[in-house]
Amino acid sequence: MSAAPVHLWRLFRWGRTLARHGALRPLERDPRTPAWVRRVAWFASLAALAPREPRFAEAFRALGPAAIKLGQALSTRPDLVGEEAAHDLRRLQDQLPPTPFADVREMLERAFDTRFSELFQSIDPTPIGAASIAQVYRAVTSDGRTVAVKVLRPGIEDQLRRAISTYEWAAERVEREGGEAARLRPRATIAAFRRWTERELDLRLEAAAASELAEDSGDPALIVPRVDWARTGKRVLTLEWIDGIKLSDPRAVAAAGLDGRKLAVIVFQGFLHQAIARGFFHADLHQGNLFALPGNRVAVIDFGIMGRLDRRARVDLARILYGLLTADYETVARVHFDAGFVPKHHSVEDFATALRAVGEPIRGLPVKDISVARLLDGLFAITRLFDMPTQPHLLLLQKTMVMVEGVAAALDPEINSWEIAEPYVRDWMRSELGPEARVADAITRNLALLADVPAILRRLIALIPPELAAPPEPEFENSRPAVAEPGPLEIRAAVRVPWWTIGAVGLGGLAAGLGIAAAFL
């Protein structure tokens, strides 16, 4: 039986809810939307007596856990859902009524196949947080330590999988429309969303992310709680208890005698170190996940959404940020073309001119008025003009940077994000892109090439047919050989070695030799 009717029925129910909150209004007037979708959106909004002003966050909250998570992901995609919707979805709160504690206790015993008393002395039955996927409790372990216990909601895995299967079905059909829909890559967006949620549904992965981040959070004053691996499994995560003040309450932070500016710098520089130096960063740094601790320290929690950038992406990002602030638009344009962000049929010079429209408005401004997140936002705004495919990993980074700037501004309204970021980015670029780093990179690349040479030669030799034994030619009286002894080229012809094989072997050896020589020059 086809799954299409099931998906269509779900989309119909979701569409009705969205229409009641006016969330389909933007589709009616967006020229990128296919005509038949605009008509459906208009009719649905009319039938639902939709309000004139859309309420996107309320609409997604009404749709349940999967839609809440999707709404949070779409808040990073103003190019896909529009600036108005993305801005409103950023206030989407991940809070739902809690699951009864009796069900949670039973699930804990089943998860560890042991009695509750062997795990914990006590646990507060009222959760300190009840999100769409999990809820968190304060507990005391059997050996007397205070911990935070995160438990998945019963049945949440099936709810999310059903919803995501429909999202994928719909995204595929939207992308088939081609044109703008294909450039925005909705299937890639939903694929990234699936990966995020699958990580969140296996709390062992969240524990591993916390453990990895704790190895180098970017600042000794940025604290990552320790994992209690003995009480952690697929559906349960137990972490060291953090007793601090949420950064969402700056008045309480100030009342405790803590320095808001120092706290903001710790968060900002910690994020820069994670994203640019390590390439592994906490991608959900909103105020509810950050706590102020005595001694002007900051603790971070909730490691369900993490971002990862390879070294090439980090170098590109640093060069883009620095180039925009120093008005080196041609270099920024070439970075985009070299990274494959802009299709080759466009002109580097035209793209550099478009970048100037992003960078020039900030030139001459006081440094406190320059926002790194706004720079990235302006950069992504020109993607449509140059047919640039969406880069989900950079959008996740942009979303996190917007969060970090918001946290810093709440702690100290006078703080200047670029004043903090510029020296770090400049010094990192000097160390990573300077002569010594280039030589080290060349050596590494060419040693890797050298290691591949035996495998390349084996594949080439495999193309040469084996020499087969043949019966001896009969001896004839007074006979002479009809052909002289074969030379090297005739041997090549006799064993039927293609000319391009010999050439490839020669060129491969030459390239390896030149690469090794270049690395040590």
Report the Cα 176 to chain-centroid distance in Å. 24
Are 377 and 401 in contact by the 8 Å Cβ rule? The answer is no
If one counts every other C-beta atom within 10 angstroms of the C-beta of residue 208, the result is: 17
Q: Which alpha helices (H) appear in 216-288, and where do they start and end?
A: 250-255, 260-272
Is residue 202 among the annotated active site residues? no
Pairing type for strands 222-223 and 134-141 reads: unpaired
Are 59 and 23 in contact by the 8 Å Cβ rule? The answer is yes
CA distance 81 to 389: 15
186-200 helix and 156-175 helix, angle to the nearest 10 degrees: 170
Q: What is the DSSP letter of 288?
A: G
Question: DSSP of 461-472, one letter per residue?
Answer: HHTSPPPPP-PP
Are 70 and 192 in contact by the 8 Å Cβ rule? The answer is no
Are 289 and 412 in contact by the 8 Å Cβ rule? The answer is no
How many helices and strands, by DSSP H and E, does the chain display?
A: 24, 11
Are 442 and 475 in contact by the 8 Å Cβ rule? The answer is no
Are 387 and 344 in contact by the 8 Å Cβ rule? The answer is no
Residue 188 CB contacts under 8 Å (≥ 6 apart), including other chains: 390, 392
Are 136 and 127 in contact by the 8 Å Cβ rule? The answer is yes
For the chain, the distance separating the N- and C-terminal CA atoms, rounded to the nearest angstrom, is 66
Sign of CA dihedral 340, 344, 349, 354: negative
Q: What is the DSSP letter of 227?
A: B
CA distance 440 to 455: 24
Question: Choosing from 94, 219, 284, 316, which is the catalytic residue?
Answer: 284
Residue 251 CB contacts under 8 Å (≥ 6 apart), including other chains: none
Active site residues: 284
